[in-house]
């Protein structure tokens, strides 16, 4: 997202004397309604990985639970119209997964994006929300079980470098 500079017109008439013109007012893109700092106006596009410890059955046949580390993965591509294309893969217990691809529309430019997908045959509509702060990307899913295995969810948080 880019912001065009704020144009200020100040007429200076040579030889008039008088006080200097007032200093320009600098516009701010910080939202006054949130206690969380505004996300910087920098690109969201990229691949984000977040390590997650999962529990699965050991492959030695002992029937004992084993902990292993896997990664959730979020890929974001920005478009010229303000929307973002998202590919999301999350990992749950016993290595069950969720996989989602879609285009999220801006609700609050640079801070919140949302997609409401039509209902599947088995459930109601899916609402996926991405909240952006200076340090985190948080995915919240409501009614999106269609995209997930038994013990997995699309809900996830990614550290923003």
pTM of structure: 0.67
- The answer to whether residues 72 and 156 touch, using CB atoms and an 8 Å cutoff, is yes
Report how far residue 154's alpha carbon sits from residue 93's, in angstroms, rounded to the nearest whole number.
13
Give the three-state DSSP class for 145: helix
CB distance 71 to 49 below 8 Å = yes
90 touches 77 (CB < 8 A): no
**Tokens linked to 106:** 């801006």
Q: How large is the average pLDDT for residues 27-47?
A: 58
**Mean pLDDT calculated for residue range 6-34:** 36
Per-residue pLDDT tens digits for 40-80:
467 899 999 998 776 676 777 776 777 778 899 999 999 98
Q: In this structure, what token pair is assigned to residue 65?
A: 């639970």
For the domain spanning 46-159, the CATH number is: 2.40.128
Give me the DSSP letters along 90-110: EE-GGG-EEEEEEEEEEEETT
Each residue of 65-124: pLDDT tens digit? 777 788 999 999 999 899 999 999 998 877 889 999 999 999 987 899 999 877 666 677
Name the CA dihedral angle for 49, 126, 113, 31, rounded to a multiple of 10 degrees. -110
Max intra-chain CA distance, the chain: 93
Per-domain boundaries in the chain: 46-159
């Amino acid at each position: 997202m880019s912001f065009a500079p704020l144009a200020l017109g100040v007429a200076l008439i040579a030889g008039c004397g008088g006080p200097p013109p007032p200093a320009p007012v600098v516009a701010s893109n910080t939202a006054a309604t949130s206690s969380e700092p505004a996300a910087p106006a920098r690109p969201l596009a990229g691949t984000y990985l977040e390590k997650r410890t999962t529990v699965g059955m050991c492959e030695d046949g002992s029937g004992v639970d084993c902990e292993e580390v896997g990664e959730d993965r979020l890929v974001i591509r920005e478009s010229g119209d303000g929307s973002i294309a998202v590919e999301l893969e999350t990992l749950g217990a016993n290595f069950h997964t969720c996989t989602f691809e879609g285009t999220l529309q801006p609700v609050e430019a640079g801070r919140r994006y949302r997609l409401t997908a039509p209902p599947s045959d088995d459930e109601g509509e899916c609402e996926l929300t991405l909240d952006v702060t200076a340090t985190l990307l948080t995915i919240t899913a409501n009614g999106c079980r269609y995209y997930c295995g038994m013990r997995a969810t699309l809900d996830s948080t990614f550290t923003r470098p």
